[in-house]
């Protein structure tokens, strides 16, 4: 089984992935550095998406293990399930300010989240999407929902609407 966890920076991808037991978790920042296919400065990753996807295909397409790939570009790799984590924009801003993002970068991410940018991209490339709102929840609880919804094949998205924050 191959799963990707995507979402705007700060939605909780790494925290949720950390709570998944028995899965081989690949964090894309580390993968990009190890493969030497781009640069990571601060929270910002610079990499060509095509190159990243090619390298992921080479590395993982034939893998039989339970794999989770997490990162805000992970939805470009076609997986059995694509988890899209969401966070209410005001809460996202608080989470991002906690990790000393500058104002402009925080604004960009809050706007991207309000516009469903990552969800819209994911819809273009993934068959099975599971969208989860992490606002006011613990990472552990979200991780349990991820597992439960995969087991029950309970996909779905589109219930979340942050447009009032625009
Ligand atoms: P990402 O990897 O998506 O950029 P992180 O996992 O680094 O996000 O989480 C960003 C912040 O959000 C962390 O400080 C984390 O503790 C916090 N957080 C709060 N609630 C949750 C939740 N329900 N799920 C995941 N992270 C959460
Ligand atoms: Mn992360």
pLDDT exceeds 90 at position 66: yes
Distance 16 CA to ligand 1 centre (A): 7
What's the 142 CA to ligand 2 centre distance in angstroms?
Answer: 15
pLDDT at 42: 67
- Per-residue pLDDT tens over the stretch 27-47: 999 999 999 999 877 667 899
Phi, psi of 124 (to 5 degrees): -65, -25
Dihedral sign for Cα atoms in the order 81, 76, 59, 86: negative
Domain 2-157, second-level architecture: 3-Layer(aba) Sandwich (3.40)
Task: Give me the residue spans of the domains in the chain.
Answer: 2-157
Q: What is the pLDDT of residues 110-151, one digit of tens each?
A: 999 999 999 999 999 999 999 999 999 999 999 999 999 999
pLDDT of residue 39: 85
Residue nearest to atom 22 of ligand 1 (CA): 139
**Average pLDDT of 20-28?**
96
């Amino acid at each position: 089984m191959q799963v990707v966890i995507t979402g705007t920076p700060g939605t909780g991808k790494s925290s949720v992935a950390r709570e998944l037991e028995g899965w081989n978790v690949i964090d894309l920042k580390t993968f990009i550095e190890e493969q030497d296919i781009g640069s990571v400065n601060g929270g910002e990753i610079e990499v060509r998406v095509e190159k990243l996807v090619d390298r992921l295909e080479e590395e993982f397409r034939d893998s039989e293990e339970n794999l989770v790939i997490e990162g805000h570009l992970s939805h470009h790799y076609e997986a059995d399930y694509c988890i899209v984590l969401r966070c209410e924009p005001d809460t996202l801003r608080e989470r991002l300010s906690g990790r000393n993002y500058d104002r402009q970068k925080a604004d960009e991410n809050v706007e991207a989240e309000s516009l469903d940018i990552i969800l819209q991209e994911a819809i273009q490339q993934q068959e099975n999407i599971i969208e989860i709102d992490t606002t006011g929840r613990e990472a552990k609880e979200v991780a349990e929902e991820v597992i439960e919804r995969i087991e029950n094949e309970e996909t779905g998205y589109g219930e979340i609407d942050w447009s009032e924050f625009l």
